[in-house]
Amino acid sequence: MSSTKSPRAKCDAARRRPSRSDATYSHMIFCAGCAGLSLAWNLLELGFDEPILVVDRRRRFENDRT
């Protein structure tokens, strides 16, 4: 579970979306607000290497102050 990559590097790598045919995730977080994104960040900080999917119903996050 440990990795030498920084959390930011892991986040950047995670932005590359897999094709639908090979999309598998070990962890799913529902809601991309402050709590959901903090959880994802902390999982990366703890060294989780498995793919994490963050799902939110909103398509735009304008003026989000959560």
And the tokens for 46?
């703890």
pLDDT of res. 34? 84
- Residue pair 51/25 in contact (Cβ under 8 Å)? The answer is yes
pLDDT of res. 43? 92
Kindly report, residue by residue over 12-47, the tens digit of the pLDDT.
655 555 555 567 888 889 988 888 989 999 999 999
